[in-house]
Amino acid sequence: MTPTASNINSTIKVNGTIVTSGSASNSISLNVGSNTITILVTAQDSSTRTYTLTVIRSTLNAYRIFVTASTYDGNLIGSASTGLAGADLKCNSDGNKPSDGSTYKTLMTDVTNRSACSINVDCTSSSENIDWVLKANTAYARTDGTSLFTTNTAGIFVFGAMSNSFNGGGQYWTGISSASSWKPSTGGNNCNKWITNSAVSNGNYGDGGITAYGAIGAGAFTCDNLKSLLCAEQ
């Protein structure tokens, strides 16, 4: 930590150790999971102010996935050029997104602009990917460090390989088929490529509380329902 006081007469302590303003503290070891770092600033008149930082260390060297705090109907386009682009913007402005400069895309499909397996179920070749959001042969974890899965050469994981659920509960739009693993919904259940909230259109969703295939393709709801988004680090 490199804290800088706005007043030259203030003193600073990081985790109880005095640090010169504008200089780095001693190295701080991070445990797996949540770590609290406390910065205590004492003014010349002995008044104090405490700043608290929480740093999450993952269980492994992994890319992160989170479920948005906000929920949306099936019209995700907003001011973007496509529904998926609008969904990506929502991921990157969400309150659950880590505030460390990382960027995210939604784990969704609209058939033509983004999908994992465009030909075969549980595909093994990245040649089937269209703007896919998961990287090949890569470990993923929740933002709290909880391990989720490691992808194959096509950037997917076969179910049975998911060690924990995405968030322990809640649902999110995906557009991924509930019958054909990792392919787009054959019924076009993507709220007209995520630009409609009509009650006569459907969108497929995933269930954040399970580790079976329903985690990404649990079924369909009408597009006027409110669901979260599933966001993957890029």
pTM to 2 decimal places: 0.75
Length, in residues, of the chain: 234
pLDDT at 81 over 80: yes
- Confidence (pLDDT) at 47: 94
- Closest-CA residue to 42 (of 83, 13, 20, 65): 13
- Confidence (pLDDT) at 59: 56
Asked whether 178 and 214 are in contact (CB, 8 A), the reply is yes
Query: With pLDDT > 70 as the criterion, what percentage of the chain qualifies?
Result: 98
Average pLDDT over residues 189-194: 97
- Closest-CA residue to 110 (of 86, 90, 134, 93): 86
- Confidence (pLDDT) at 145: 87
Phi and psi angles of residue 126, each rounded to the nearest 5 degrees, phi first: -70, -10
What is the tens place of the pLDDT at every residue in 116-173?
999 999 999 999 999 999 999 999 999 988 999 999 999 999 877 899 999 988 999 9
What does the mean pLDDT of the chain come to? 93
pLDDT at 50 over 70: yes
- Confidence (pLDDT) at 24: 94
What is the tens place of the pLDDT at every residue in 103-119?
999 999 999 999 999 99
Domain extents for the chain? 11-56, 58-234
Average pLDDT over residues 193-216: 96
Report the C-alpha gap between 187 and 224 in whole angstroms.
18
- Closest-CA residue to 231 (of 172, 160, 177): 172
- Confidence (pLDDT) at 180: 84
CATH class of 58-234: alpha beta
What is the tens place of the pLDDT at every residue in 1-36?
999 999 989 999 999 999 999 999 999 988 767 789
